[in-house]
Structure formats: structure tokens, C-alpha cells
Amino acid sequence: MTMRHTQGSAPRRVQIEKAWLDIVDIDSALDVAFGWLKTDTPRVVMAINPEKVRAIGEDPMLEKFNRDAGLAIGDGMGVVIAAKLMGYREAARVTGIDFCEGMVARCAREDVPVFFYGAAEGVANDAARELQQRFPGLKVAGIANGFVPPERQDELVNTIATSGAEVLLVALGSPRQELWMNKNLGRLGGVRIVQGVGGSFDVFSGRLKRAPKAWQNAGLEWLYRLLAQPSRLPRYFRLRKFVPVLWRCAVGKGKKVAS
């Protein structure tokens, strides 16, 4: 099923433990976000996965940030399964990197300038260059690496605000990127769409290989990443705590909210 929303209209939301998730697919999510360009208010796109659900439950700042986000997309299969168990059969996985790529492609078509902030020295530059090659016409309003020191943060925010960017991609990792966005969202000039994109710049730049499409479509991208990076194993062991969450969703203890 393909969901379509009027640009800017609010999708349905479901609450999984303390985390909020919007019931969207990638097309409807992009419709919603691009509707924000016609408003005077910047809004955030936040990717939700089982690990993020756990972090939101333990961090009041993240909880509020998630609740206030313009879009909370289902980055992990675990949260999509949870939503389906609660009766939202149309819930779809919308990974942060897929949303970012779709948004950049649409920005290129619609002449919307994008600012790239984050990752190690040179990574954002390479990511922006690669995306410009893939999506001719993409306007890069500016680039900054993720190691701008605290004493230069005001200068960075001013650079973004005066760059002409309408979309800002923040690749600082979680929760650092959420902390940064929470602090600076109201100071970004004409920026209307802000997305925390984690390690997406590393993938776009070619430094990190993403799982093949067959693995992605099967919901096994996490396994591919684990096989490629065995050091991630302790992180996945921690995610076993999400199993009781799925049980509570299945037996009707999750919360449904229609927006």
C-alpha cells in the first residue's frame, strides 16, 4: 500500500513505550517534510529504531525531542514490527539514509539548497560531491565537519543561518546530533527541514558500504552490518531488551494515537 499525504499534513502517530513513531512510508514522509518549506517553523526528522526507543525511555531530553519532532520515521524493523503488532498493518520501514537520499533527490529537482554538517574532516565534502554527481542540480549551501569546537559553534550556526539553506543534514551520531538540534533549532535562519543522519555521510562518500538491496528488503541490514563489523555484537545483545516491548505491543499495551 502507498500512503499519500497533503504536503505538511500530520500523519498518524503511535506510541511505543515512551517513543513516538509516525505511520508513513517514504513518499508520504517526504510529502509531509516538503510541506514545511511553506511554513515559518523549522522542524526535525528523527529516525526511530529499537535502540532509540530504549534511549528515549532513559533520557527526558530525547523523550521531549522525539515528541516534538515533525516526523519520527521507522528506521529499524523492530519498531515497524511493533507498530504492526498494534494493528498498524500499513507501517513501513523508512530508514534515515533512504529518507535523506530521497530528500536530496527532491531538493535537486525543486532547487532547494542543502547544508551538510558533521562527520570527520573531508567526509561531508565527499558526500556532497557524490550526491551532486548522482543528482545534478543539487545546490550545496555549505559544508562543515563534525568537529567544530565549542567556541566556534555560534559562528557555525550563523554560517548555516545565512547560507540560504532550507534543508540541514546533521551527521553527529546519537545523541550528540539530537542535543545539537535541540539547542540550535530556533537559530537556523531559513532552514525548515532538519534531519539527524548519523553515519549517512560515510555511506554517501563511499567510506562505508551499505548492505545490498536484497538484505535491506528482507529487513536484514542489521545482520549484514554485524557480519561486516563484529565489534557491534555487544550493541545487538543489548537490543534483546526490546523483545518484551514487542510482547507488550502484541497484547495491546501499546498506545494508539490518531493525529
Residue 236 lies in a domain: no
pLDDT of residue 5: 43
Q: Is 254 left (phi over 0), alpha (psi -120 to 50) or beta?
A: beta
State yes or no: pLDDT of 47 exceeds 50: yes
Is 124 in a helix, a strand, or coil?
A: helix
Residue 233 lies in a domain: no
Let me know how long the chain is: 259
Q: What residues are paired with 16 via a beta bridge?
A: 19
State yes or no: pLDDT of 177 exceeds 70: yes
pLDDT of residue 251: 85
pLDDT of residue 247: 87
Contact by Cβ (8 Å): 257, 21: no
Residue 194 lies in a domain: yes
Query: Which helix (DSSP H) or strand (DSSP E) does residue 74 occupy?
Result: strand 71-74
Average pLDDT score over residue span 152-171: 98
pLDDT of residue 171: 98
- Give 3-40 pLDDT, tens digit per residue: 444 444 578 999 999 999 999 999 999 999 999 999 99
Q: How many structural domains is the chain composed of?
A: 1
State yes or no: pLDDT of 259 exceeds 50: no
Residue 9 lies in a domain: no
Q: Which long-range contacts (CB under 8 A, 24 or more apart) does 83-87 make?
A: 83/14, 83/16, 83/21, 83/23, 83/249, 85/246, 85/249, 85/250, 85/254, 86/14, 86/16, 86/249, 86/252, 86/254, 86/256, 87/256
- Give 74-129 pLDDT, tens digit per residue: 998 899 999 999 999 999 999 999 999 999 999 999 999 999 999 999 999 999 99
pLDDT of residue 176: 97
pLDDT of residue 92: 95
Residue 34 lies in a domain: yes
- Give 187-245 pLDDT, tens digit per residue: 999 999 999 999 999 999 998 766 566 656 666 665 555 556 565 555 655 667 788 88
* Better-scored residue on pLDDT, 246 or 68: 68
- Give 138-161 pLDDT, tens digit per residue: 999 999 999 999 999 999 999 999
pTM value? 0.87
pLDDT of residue 210: 60
Residue 215 lies in a domain: no
Containing structural domain, residue 176:
14-207+245-257
The span from the CA of 69 to the CA of 83, in Å, is: 18
Structure confidence at residue 162 as a pLDDT band (50, 70, 90) = very high
Average pLDDT score over residue span 54-58: 95
Residue 128 lies in a domain: yes
Of 43-57, 104-118, 155-169, 238-252, minimum mean pLDDT range? 238-252
Angle CA 135–168–27, to nearest 5: 60
